[in-house]
């Protein structure tokens, strides 16, 4: 693509030399990935500033630079006021406006995003549609998987991924949309058809100044559904009627709203709910009829996840029978209430619960079918919201018979300081908990203590296969560590 054609997407910019004959083969924001004839866009991040890497980008073959200030370079420098915003506009143009042709569902909320995306993947696959999924665990295109660095990729990689999906005949894209991504503009240029809200509880207050700011960021997804209506491309906001935050989100969107609920009148409801250790059953009541669901997923939080996915599927005109077939067939999601089964006589469950609300949900569910003691192994991430640390510890002790507080991903914080933040306000006897900083030792301790019919919950990391200490990610998988500890115990 010619550079002057690419820049037609940008309303105002300054450049002092001719760019008429420059052809762009790639758009990049990482100077290390620049190839000959690239357009390098300088992005200012938390720790690095792309403006400092212009020389490297040019040495690697950049034909032009987009920057927020004049920079000396032997290639044209296009100066704009906001390179992050411009990057999204350039990415959409360069990759041919992919979500104009690719139906797109976005899922936001504190908890449940990953599960809802994978439920939707199963539903659309049962409806004979090829899917693409982007989220916390990975990116999937059909059966192929690709690693991701963030829940929601940056705008450039996101648009590149959507183009890749189109080239591989994806018929429905589904993605998790984090509050960070919304606030930073990573999803600028995405043409969403359906936006789903799961719930709102405390998280990410290291980034957002308070819970209201966190909700404001979430509301951007619904505002970005657009302000006009098109019969050929209907849009919907799917909201959890049982969460008070939905009141704000309803006011944030101009599009039709579909609500779901377990407690109130809503467009889609779950009635006659029955929960046990083997799964969940309920009647799915919808505007197009009612149908019984018998799912292997466990817990009330998964009822809400299934309602959210079902409501979005109904908005996309998926038949009820197909929704039932999908919900009845899915056995679980990687790292979400995932059992570690080595035929031992006690249960070990690994879950991604890393917020007070999600930890409480999972422990409440376990308590509903626990026959004997419940153990929980849990920590809190470093360089993240410190205010939730004592809340997590308090919830662990409220529901579990014994808590083992340990490291999560300490990052650049001292693990001992994180654990002190968790435990210093506890009013219960230390007989109810242990502090074992080494996560492997903490899991092994819990397994060693467990007796017949006890339940161990290992919370916080779920699907993750690493532990980040400092700036280094070390191989670590809760499931494998637990499996080895069970085998070593021999029961």
Across 449-471, average pLDDT: 95
- Reported as a single tens digit per residue, the pLDDT across 312-322 is 999 999 999 99
Mean pLDDT of 171-183: 93
Classify residue 175 as exposed, middle or buried by CB count within 10 Å of its CB (0-12, 13-18, 19+): buried
Percent of residues in the chain assigned helix, strand, coil, to nearest 5 = 35, 25, 40
Q: What's residue 437's pLDDT?
A: 97
Does 7 score more than 70 pLDDT?
yes
Least confident of 21-35, 133-147, 323-337, 420-434: 420-434
Q: Is the pLDDT of residue 449 over 90?
A: yes
pLDDT at 429: 63
The predicted-structure confidence for 26-84, as pLDDT tens digits, reads as follows: 999 999 999 999 999 999 876 789 999 999 999 999 999 999 999 999 999 999 999 99
Kindly tell me the number of DSSP H helices and DSSP E strands found in the chain: 16, 23
pLDDT confidence bin for 491, thresholds 50/70/90: low
**Contact predicate 468/379, CB 8 Å:** no
> Which of 423, 354, 345 lies closest to 382 in space, CA to CA?
354
Per-residue pLDDT at 459? 97
Task: Write out pLDDT tens, residues 148-168.
Answer: 877 678 999 999 999 999 999
Q: What is the mean pLDDT of the chain?
A: 94
Q: Which two tokens stand for residue 424?
A: 């210093």
pLDDT of residue 368: 86
Nearest to 355 by CA among 469, 436, 459: 459
Calculate the alpha carbon distances from 421 to 382, 383, 393, 459, 470 in Å: 11, 13, 9, 18, 19
How far are the Cα atoms of 111, 276, 294 from residue 369, in angstroms, in the given order? Answer: 22, 6, 18
Say if residue 204's pLDDT is above 60.
Answer: no
Give the model confidence (pLDDT) of 391-436 as tens digits.
999 999 999 999 999 999 999 999 999 999 999 988 766 779 999 9
Could you tell me which residues are beta bridge partners of residue 139?
A: 134, 146
Please give the Cα distance from 298 to 277 (Å, whole number).
7
If you average pLDDT over residues 87-108, what whole number do you get? 97
pLDDT > 90? residue 278: no
Q: At 386, is the secondary structure helix, strand, or coil?
A: helix
Query: Does the model's pTM come out above 0.75?
Result: yes
Give yes or no for residue 240 having a pLDDT over 70.
Answer: yes
pLDDT score, position 102 = 97
Q: What is the side-by-side strand order in the sheet with 139-141? A: 144-146, 139-141, 131-134, 172-176, 104-108, 194-197, 236-240, 257-261, 268-276, 279-286, 289-295
Is the predicted pLDDT of residue 446 greater than 90, yes or no?
yes
Q: Poorest-confidence range of 150-159, 189-198, 248-257, 278-287?
A: 150-159
Angle between helices 113-126 and 300-315 (to 10 degrees): 50
Burial of 296 (0-12, 13-18, 19+ CB in 10 A): middle
For residue 168, the 8-state DSSP code is T
Using 50, 70 and 90 to split pLDDT, how confident is the model at 114?
very high
């Amino acid at each position: 693509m010619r550079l002057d054609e690419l820049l037609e997407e940008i309303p105002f910019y300054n450049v002092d030399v001719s760019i008429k004959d420059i052809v762009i083969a790639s758009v990049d924001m990482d100077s290390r990935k620049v190839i000959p004839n690239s357009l390098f866009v300088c992005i200012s991040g938390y720790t690095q500033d792309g403006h400092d890497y212009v020389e490297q980008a040019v040495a690697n073959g950049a034909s032009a630079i987009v920057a927020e200030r004049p920079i000396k370079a032997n290639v044209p420098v296009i100066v704009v006021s906001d390179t992050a915003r411009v990057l999204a506009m350039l990415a959409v143009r360069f990759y041919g406006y992919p979500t104009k042709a690719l139906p797109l569902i976005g899922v936001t909320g504190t908890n449940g995003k990953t599960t809802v995306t994978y439920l939707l993947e199963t539903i659309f696959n049962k409806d004979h549609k090829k899917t693409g999924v982007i989220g916390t665990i990975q990116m999937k295109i059909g059966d192929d998987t690709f690693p991701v660095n963030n829940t929601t990729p940056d705008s450039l990689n996101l648009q590149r991924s959507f183009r890749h999906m189109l080239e591989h005949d994806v018929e429905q894209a589904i993605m998790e949309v984090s509050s960070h991504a919304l606030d930073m503009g990573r999803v600028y240029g995405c043409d969403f058809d359906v936006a789903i809200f799961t719930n709102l509880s405390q998280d990410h207050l290291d980034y957002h100044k308070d819970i209201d700011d966190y909700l404001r960021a979430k509301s951007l997804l619904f505002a970005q559904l657009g302000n006009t209506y098109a019969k050929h491309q209907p849009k919907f906001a799917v909201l959890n009627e049982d969460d008070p935050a939905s009141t704000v989100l309803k006011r944030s969107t101009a599009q039709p709203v579909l609500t779901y609920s377990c407690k109130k009148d809503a467009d889609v409801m779950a009635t006659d709910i029955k929960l046990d250790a083997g799964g969940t059953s309920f009647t799915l009541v919808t505007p197009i009829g009612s149908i019984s669901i018998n799912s292997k997923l466990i817990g009330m939080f998964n009822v809400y996840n299934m309602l959210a996915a079902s409501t979005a599927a109904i908005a996309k005109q998926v038949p009820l029978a197909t929704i039932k077939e999908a919900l009845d067939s899915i056995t679980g999601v990687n790292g979400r209430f995932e059992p570690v089964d080595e035929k031992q006589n006690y249960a070990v469950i690994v879950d991604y619960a890393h917020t007070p609300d999600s930890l409480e949900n999972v422990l409440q569910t376990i308590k509903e079918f626990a026959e004997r003691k419940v153990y929980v192994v849990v920590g809190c991430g470093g360089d993240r919201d410190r205010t939730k640390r004592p809340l997590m510890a308090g919830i662990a002790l409220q529901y579990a018979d014994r808590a083992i507080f340990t490291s999560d991903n300490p990052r650049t914080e001292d693990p001992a300081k994180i654990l002190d933040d968790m435990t210093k306000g506890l009013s219960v006897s230390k007989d109810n908990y242990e502090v074992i900083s080494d996560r492997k030792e903490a899991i092994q301790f819990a397994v060693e203590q467990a007796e017949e019919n006890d339940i161990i919950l290992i919370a916080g990391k779920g699907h993750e296969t690493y532990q980040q200490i400092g700036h280094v990610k070390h191989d670590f998988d809760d499931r494998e560590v637990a499996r080895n500890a069970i085998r070593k115990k021999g029961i």
